[in-house]
Amino acid sequence: MKIGTRGSPLAMAQAYETRARLAAAFDLPLEAFEIIVIKVMGDDRSMVAADRPLKEIGNKGLFTREIEEDLLAGKIDIAVHSMKDMPTVQPDGLILDTYLPREDVRDAFVSPSASQIADLAEGAIVGTSSLRRRAQLLNKRGDLNVVEFRGNVQTRLKKLQDGVAACTFLACAGLNRLDMKYVPATPVATTDMLPAIAQGAIGIERRTNDTNTAGMLAAIHDGATGQRLAAERQFLLTLDGSCETPIAGLATLDGTTLTLTGEVLRPDGSEALSDSISGPITDGSAMGTELAKTLLNRAGPAFFDWHVSSD
């Protein structure tokens, strides 16, 4: 079985985890699975300027398009993705219905000199490429100077060491998967910074008509993660049809009850709207749609009329 992935250290760690789970589930040697590294546009520095916001050059598709093309062409059998990078709709012929157990969903505040957002000096430079994190930060601390800050985990840590910014934010899940205990990171409570849709989750994509692969993937699918992501991704899908704006969302489970919390913000952080909805797990997708419509109605059309400098 050929497993397709990006070549970053975190993407490779996710591919290794997928391989290990499949090998264990079927009592197969690791050599039964070949990891194929695929270069995507989002990783090509010659095509994507380091100081240009991702939303201007394709955003999520930048990290999936080439991998999905190879999957459709039969060059690989499955594709392993960070779910927060995934568009809400898959290309014809592909399906995303397998998820590994979700990791820590929280954002991590990373700084060599401060332990939390409140410790930052007035006007401090904060590096992030996330439209969501930018807006959430400015909503709490309008005095901060937020600059574009891209690259893999190692690249961003090097920028911090070089003094490019006072702090940045990484996903706790990525730090855990890379076993980077030495990083000066403080988890941020989800009540203070609601995470990106599907943060901390690994998804596995396959060809729709590949029933043999479907049977194998079913053995490693985590149902609880799938139920949570069904609500979160439907929330995102409904919002994406109406606007391009900072969006955050998190679904949690308590027995047979699912609670979905969602947030939309103006990119400059001047306004944030949030709400929650609870119901049976089986109604997750419907709740995602309902919550999105609730926030859209509260916001009104003017909420999404914005222009953000790319400084």
Question: What's the burial of 151, exposed, middle or buried (CB within 10 Å: 0-12/13-18/19+)?
Answer: middle
pTM here is: 0.90
Catalytic (active-site) positions? 85
For the ranges 220-224, 299-303, 305-309, the lowest mean pLDDT is seen at 305-309
Average pLDDT score over residue span 41-69: 61
The predicted pLDDT at position 129 comes to 87
Distances (CA, A) of 305 to 25, 266, 301, 309: 50, 9, 7, 14
If one compares 190 and 307, the residue with the highest pLDDT of the two is: 190
Task: Give residue-wise pLDDT tens across range 111-164.
Answer: 998 999 999 999 999 999 899 999 999 999 999 999 998 777 788 888 998 999
Angle at 138 between CA 137 and CA 140, to 5 degrees: 70
SS (H, E, C) the chain: CEEEECCCHHHHHHHHHHHHHHHHHCCCCHHHCEEEECCCHHHCCCCCCCCCCHHHCCHHHHHCHHHHHHHHCCCCCEEEEEHHHCCCCCCCCEEEEEECCCCCCCEEEECCCCCCHHHCCCCCEEECCCHHHHHHHHHHCCCCEEECCCCCHHHHHHHHHCCCCCEEEEEHHHHHHCCCCCCCEEEECCCCCCCCCCCCCEEEEEECCCHHHHHHHHCCCCHHHHHHHHHHHHHHHHHHCCCCCCEEEEEEEECCEEEEEEEEECCCCCCEEEEEEEEEHHHHHHHHHHHHHHHHHHHCHHHHCCCCCCC
More confident residue, 154 or 102: 102
Q: What is the pLDDT of residue 47?
A: 42
Residue 261 contacts residue 286 (beta carbons within 8 Å): no
Q: Using one digit for the tens of pLDDT, what is the confidence trace for 250-263?
A: 999 999 999 999 99
Q: Which domains does the chain have, with CATH numbers?
A: 1-102+201-221 (3.40.190.10), 107-188 (3.40.190.10), 222-298 (3.30.160.40)
Tokens 């069904």, residue located: 230
User: What pLDDT band is residue 91 in, cutting at 50, 70 and 90?
Assistant: very high
CA nearest neighbour of 274 among 119, 121, 132: 132
Confidence category of residue 48, pLDDT binned at 50, 70, 90: very low
The whole-angstrom separation of Cα 210 and Cα 176 is 32
pLDDT one-digit tens code per residue, 172-225: 999 999 999 999 999 999 999 999 999 999 999 999 999 999 999 999 999 999
Distance CA(153)–CA(110), nearest Å, equals 11
Q: What is the pLDDT of residue 213?
A: 97
